[in-house]
Structure 1
Amino acid sequence: MQISYFIKLYKFQLLLTLSGLLFYWAFAYNLSRTDSIKLLTLYVALFVLSYKLLQLTKHNIQFLTWIAFGFRAVFILAIPNLSQDFYRFIWDGRMILEGFNPYLYTPESFISASNFPINQAQQLYNGMGLLNASHFTNYPPINQLCFVLAGIFSSKSILGSVITLRLIIIAADLGILYFGKRLLRQFKLPEHLIFWYILNPFIIIELTGNLHFEGVMLFFLIWSLYLLEKNKWLLAAIVFACSVSVKLIPLLFLPLFFKWFKKEETINSKTKRTKKINLLKLLSFYSIVGITTICFFLPFYSSEFLTNYTNTVALWFQNFEFNASIYYLLRTIGYWISGYNQIAIIGKLTAIFIFIFVVSLAILKKVNNTKQLIATMLIALSVYYFTSTTVHPWYVATLVLLSVFTDYKFPLVWSFMIIFSYLAYANSNNSENLWIIAFEYIVVFSVFLLDIFKPKLLETKFS
């Protein structure tokens, strides 16, 4: 009786869910990234379905949870079809289990010498591609631990390793749901807002589907922010270091904690109060983050490691280009002036600009609570991506999660528009159509400017 009543009550939502399962199955098992029309059609359909499901079912958190993780379950047996990075993940994990330091060797150095140090070495090398295979790994230690787990549970099967990696990422999303709901509750915001991340097709496809570990990094980040909100800053520092040790991007946020560590002091017994930075707590927080992160890296340390790792990270600023916005404009100007690509110079100047911008935010931006801290993080990372030489689709996942706790909508729009970057794979040389990139960023920048200035316009209008 209860089942029939549930079906009657949620029949439209169940129809949408069934359609979503079918569309995700087609995405996971019957799609090539070169098939642009099918890719876009499925992606748009999944966004519409997810929006309607969240709109109609936002008060039933349990139902939304089953739907979101049911969609993820569709991908369990699928080999990623939009990214080949997972081959390198499996390679690194198996290398560690064989006693090799993955930061000291490139896959190319082994294969070119007809040396096959791990199971399925040639297959993994072919899958990751020459660009990936010719560079040293840049994945931090906790990320490497995930790769090792894939090697432990499946040392001879690529599919088995993929399943292990996928289960780790799904578990991380469960953690994000858990702490995300609690953080929203602390902010007195509706819990269903976390499903703009959890139910987002972009998140499901890029993380669960394509096996990108932004989700694991975000699990530690959101856990850390929750601990900060509960004033457990010592434990928050350790967890934040875990986030850095999955992906380095949270390092960008460190200066922004400057104003969070304040304490009130009574100047006058009546009304005057001021807030001062608690330098001891601030320095202790930074020290714990730094020492914990270094401890994670120590098992891999050598002079060669330091050189290889810093050079590999620097490549992202000075060599690689993909789905950029402001950088492409600067590159064009550089061509007009010098006649050749000025990426090395532009990359260095961009890094300096971002450093100055983030430090300025830390000093000038009002940050009295964790909610304001998250909003400042969102702005800092957005400007970084707007000026970056390389913006892979999965990078936007961090913006999507942070936006859940703010009034900003542009990350959600970007999570939809980012699919257009995959149209670069529709041609044989994987070249980007700059008109398509321009379309993507015109939409994103338009919504970004609305998010920034609309509240001020409304304030002026009604003041």
Structure 2
Amino acid sequence: MPNQLLRYIALHKIPLLLVVTSIVFYWVFGYDLDRTDFLKLLLLFIALFICHLKLIQFEKWNFKLLFIAGVLFRLVFLFAEPTLSQDFYRFIWDGQLIKSGLNPYVYTPYQIMEWSQIPMANYNMLYDGMGELSAKHFSNYPPLNQIMFTIAAFFGGKSILGSIIALRVQIILADIGILYFGSRLLKMLNSNPNNVFWYFLNPLVILELSGNLHFEGVMLFFFVWSMYLLCKERWMSAAPIYALSILVKLVPILFLPLFLRYLGFKKSVGFYVLVFTTCLAFLAPFYTTIFIDNYSETVGLWFSNFEFNAGIYNVVKFIGVNFFEAKPWELIKTYGKIMALAVIGIALILAFFRKNENFKTLIQSMLWVLFTYLVLSSTVHPWYIIFLLTLSLFTEYKFPILWTLVAILSYWAYSNPDFTENLWLLAIEYFVVFAFFIYELTTKSGKKLDFFKKTSPN
């Protein structure tokens, strides 16, 4: 046995060195990084990105080694408090609230803090940690997400760290589920199943999901599972699973029109009914007469009030403010409404005019819809790009992989107390993304900016 181990180490010494190096860098990220130190953050991330590229290059057929490496990278963060995001305080707050029998869609943290008795542990730390912006608004996390917060509250007890660990375990298990169903879906599409490691080993995925506790990975687990079932022509099983994806994050709603041509009219109606019914079933325990108003108001803020790492919006804002004397707070509200209509319009155009009967074409249409949404949005947190990365696994396009690298430039905002963004860095980010996107679009299989061409059969 020792001889076999030594032989294995000798044969894989460079990949194993990359794994050990990455573990050290992830440990620094989790336990020895102040997010205001942008240079350190940037250099660590670039080093991790290079390590993951070389690791896949050296061991692209070694599923076992890459799987173990990906799990180890995630477990490094098990006892770490997130460094790049404070959202987890609100997750735990909502979970504790439901555990106490209260509805997070009815009361804002600000309102609860005015009560004489507050029925939850560590409420002062959670309230201070989530920040004033989150505290003033009702929860915007869908029902299944809330259930997961509640599970963490039960397992974590009165310990914030215990709740963090419970949240993190759920996210890690979801990533393993993506690896399982993603590799099988790739095999069904006659692609290399190990391409799923472009997701599983991506530093942005590991840092933002396992590290910073964002639930995009849980949403993507249900999404990839449902796509696997759809590809196997099991649409009745896929529909409720797809609904679970929506019930974690709302983004998959954007793709619903695209199923019309893939499934045909009768099956698509059945698919929509099952999705809608499943969503209603999970929504029912939280429903009150004021739920719709509170939730729609909170979700609407993302389209009309917030801005971070925006692409086209920053160009529109620069022109509007400097040449037309537009007021920024009015501009973003108008822009948000136009952006929402534009994304819906693109989704409908692709739904009715693209040949989505083919599964690969369907996935590619989803890629275009989501890419449109992200480049038009006024708020593009780096973890939003992970969905685009996941879709790209099942297409020929690799520009989302590059975006997961340059998106780290947006974290310059955390290096100063007032969170001011560096527009030059954002310009570099989007220039790189658009340049590589156009390059791929005009060279892949001779596609000359043809969004409506049918891909090869699956």
Normalised by the shorter chain, which TM-score bucket?
over 0.9
Q: CA deviation at 1:137?
A: 0.4
Q: Tell me the amino acid that sits aligned with residue 315 of structure 1.
A: L
Among residues 223, 236, 239, which one is paired with 2:238 in the alignment? 236
Alignment of 1:8-157 (within 5 A): 8-113=10-115, 115-157=117-159
Alignment of 1:244-255 (within 5 A): 244-255=246-257
Q: Quote the Cα distance in structure 2 between the aligned partners of 1:459 and 1:311.
A: 42
Among residues 333, 343, 346, which one is paired with 2:335 in the alignment? 346
Among residues 317, 340, 344, which one is paired with 1:331 in the alignment? 317
Give 1:204's aligned residue.
206
Q: Quote the Cα distance in structure 1 between the aligned partners of 2:250 and 2:102.
A: 23
Are 2:398 and 1:396 equivalent residues in the alignment?
A: no
Give 2:299's aligned residue.
313
Q: Quote the Cα distance in structure 1 between the aligned partners of 2:103 and 2:91.
A: 14
- List 4+ stretches of structure 1 deviating above 3 A: 112-115, 456-460
Q: Quote the Cα distance in structure 1 between the aligned partners of 2:132 and 2:448.
A: 54
Give 1:414's aligned residue.
403
Give 2:454's aligned residue.
none
Among residues 283, 287, 290, which one is paired with 1:297 in the alignment? 283
Q: CA deviation at 1:459?
A: 7.7
Cα distance per residue 1:71-125 (max 9 Å; x no partner) = 1110000000000000000000010010100100111112244643310000000
Contact 1:155/1:161 (8 A) holds in 2:
yes
Worse-matched range after superposition: 95-104 or 331-340? 331-340
Cα distance per residue 1:312-364 (max 9 Å; x no partner) = 11100111111101111112232232431111111101111111111001111
Are 2:289 and 1:287 equivalent residues in the alignment?
A: no
Q: Quote the Cα distance in structure 2 between the aligned partners of 1:19 and 1:184.
A: 29
Are 2:361 and 1:361 equivalent residues in the alignment?
A: no
Contact 1:225/1:370 (8 A) holds in 2:
no
1:195 is paired with a residue whose SS is helix
Give 1:426's aligned residue.
415
Cα 1:114/1:334, change in 2 over 3 Å? farther
Contact 1:323/1:390 (8 A) holds in 2:
yes
Q: Tell me the amino acid that sits aligned with residue 18 of structure 2.
A: L
Contact 1:256/1:359 (8 A) holds in 2:
yes
Q: Tell me the amino acid that sits aligned with residue 215 of structure 1.
A: G
Q: Tell me the amino acid that sits aligned with residue 239 of structure 2.
A: A
Q: Tell me the amino acid that sits aligned with residue 142 of structure 2.
A: P
Q: Quote the Cα distance in structure 2 between the aligned partners of 1:458 and 1:393.
A: 29
Q: Tell me the amino acid that sits aligned with residue 326 of structure 2.
A: G
Cα 1:392/1:458, change in 2 over 3 Å? closer
Contact 2:350/2:365 (8 A) holds in 1:
yes
Q: Quote the Cα distance in structure 2 between the aligned partners of 1:312 and 1:83.
A: 19
Are 2:369 and 1:383 equivalent residues in the alignment?
A: no
Give 2:456's aligned residue.
none
Worse-matched range after superposition: 360-369 or 418-427? 360-369
Contact 1:322/1:389 (8 A) holds in 2:
yes
Are 2:437 and 1:435 equivalent residues in the alignment?
A: no
Q: Quote the Cα distance in structure 1 between the aligned partners of 2:292 and 2:326.
A: 35
Q: CA deviation at 1:457?
A: 5.2
Contact 2:179/2:200 (8 A) holds in 1:
yes
Q: CA deviation at 1:224?
A: 0.2
Contact 2:413/2:422 (8 A) holds in 1:
yes
Q: Quote the Cα distance in structure 1 between the aligned partners of 2:272 and 2:356.
A: 17
2:395 is paired with a residue whose SS is coil
Q: Tell me the amino acid that sits aligned with residue 280 of structure 2.
A: I
2:380 is paired with a residue whose SS is coil
Give 1:169's aligned residue.
171
Tell me the percent identity. 48
Among residues 442, 445, 449, which one is paired with 1:453 in the alignment? 442
Among residues 215, 225, 228, which one is paired with 1:226 in the alignment? 228
Q: Quote the Cα distance in structure 2 between the aligned partners of 1:223 and 1:122.
A: 39
Cα distance per residue 1:28-55 (max 9 Å; x no partner) = 1000110011100100000011110100
Q: CA deviation at 1:279?
A: 1.8
Cα distance per residue 1:274-333 (max 9 Å; x no partner) = xxxx32211011111111111111111112111000011110011111110111111223
* Structure 2 runs not aligned, ≥5 long: 450-458
Q: CA deviation at 1:369?
A: 2.1
Give 1:264's aligned residue.
none
TM-score, length-normalised on structure 1?
Answer: 0.94
